[in-house]
Amino acid sequence: MESYNLVLVIVAVATLAVAWLPSLLKEYPLSYPILFVIGGWLLYQLPVSLPDPSPLANPKLTTHLTELCVIIALTGTGLKIDRRFSLRGWRLPIRLVWLTMTVTIAVFSVIAWGWAGWPMASALLLAASLAPTDPVLAGDVQVGDPNEGQEDSVRFALTAEAGLNDGMAFPFVYMAIMLAQTVSASTADFTHWALYALAFRVGVGILGGWLSGQLLSYLIFGLPQRISIKTTAYGFVALAVTLVSYGLTELAHGYGFLAVFIAAITIRSRERTHEYHTYMHAFSDQIERLLIALLLLLFGGAIAKGMLAALTWQDALLGLLLVFIIRPLVGWITLGGTGARGLKRWIIAGFGIRGIGSLFYIAYALDHASFADPARIWSLTGWTILLSVFLHGMLSTPVMKRLDSQRVIVNN
């Protein structure tokens, strides 16, 4: 009972911190995720009984908690994008998803396999899990609330990328699972992967998201006024958007992450200035921040309890290479011809933040196949996320201020 009451107090303090810290820290080179990770580490140094934070010891809980956090974040991400979808208008995030992420996965997996000695299946799993930009922890470099106007090309590119690539990374996770389940993959295995895991499931994810968005748009905006939704229920609608689009698409064997984002984008395209969008996004954002706080406290606790114990110097270097060299350099090269130049191009290339989505992919894959040395996989994943949380958390405020100041100078 004492442990339970202590957990309640911790949750209450975390909830208050989520409410206050973003505003308190907005002018400083420090993000609230950093403080939650540190707070979690400190909590698990205390001589008190707390839940086991290890993802290796709690695979199902890790999978479902991170899954819930990601899909709620994807709803909020889609609802706050003001720009209408078009291939030209969305060329930056589309390039980041289909080329930047794919090349990053290829480069990282080859280095991990050829230099650090990882089995190919594990190398590909790590690459696919760590390559996507996280929709959960990238809030400081994303666009503002719906119709707020803070949607320059850099913020838009990073926001839309975070929304799209969590679903688009899944085919590579499935390829890693396939390699882990077979001694030697055949041409038939790769053909099945291309047709089912890549083409079919991505297609169903896009179609399922669009259909869900159209249906929910009609329920929200198209029904007669006499049965319209009350203001107090807007948040429940946002939750329904998340769960309906994700659940139905997963039942149809599509990628639910992709569907949730597409559904939110579809709803956002209807009645773009309606207050529903603001209220739905606000509710999603509140739930997301609470889940972030709890997950980061547990992540900090996992670090304190030895999550990085299996980290080798080669793996530590791999994490550094990904965060400091591979993603920024691949991003800068692959963005050629998109119109992004100078500081804007480097910011888009460099702010591929790793986070909660990576934890989900690793937990999901380890639950579906036997990979060599899971403790080492978790160590490298935790190390890379830790690097990203601290590096991008400290750089996001000054870098975005610099970007805004350049735009003011140009406009004047």
> What integer pLDDT is reported at residue 412 of this predicted model?
41
Pair of tokens at residue 337: 């011809």
CA–CA gap between residue 279 and residue 77 (Å, rounded): 13
CB of 56 closer than 8 Å to CB of 309: no
CA–CA gap between residue 221 and residue 228 (Å, rounded): 8
> What integer pLDDT is reported at residue 300 of this predicted model?
96
CA–CA gap between residue 315 and residue 384 (Å, rounded): 9
> What integer pLDDT is reported at residue 225 of this predicted model?
57
> What integer pLDDT is reported at residue 170 of this predicted model?
93
> What integer pLDDT is reported at residue 353 of this predicted model?
77
Mean pLDDT in the chain?
88
CA–CA gap between residue 290 and residue 294 (Å, rounded): 6
Pair of tokens at residue 36: 């939650």
CA–CA gap between residue 252 and residue 401 (Å, rounded): 44
CB of 207 closer than 8 Å to CB of 174: no
CB of 296 closer than 8 Å to CB of 33: yes
CB of 157 closer than 8 Å to CB of 88: no
Q: How does pLDDT run across 239-267, given as a tens digit for each residue?
A: 888 999 999 999 999 999 999 999 999 98
Q: How does pLDDT run across 299-323, given as a tens digit for each residue?
A: 999 999 999 999 999 999 999 999 9
Q: How does pLDDT run across 263-295, given as a tens digit for each residue?
A: 999 988 887 777 777 878 888 888 888 898 999
Length of the chain, in residues: 412
Query: Which residues in the chain show pLDDT less than 50?
Result: 410-412
Chain centroid to CA 92: 18
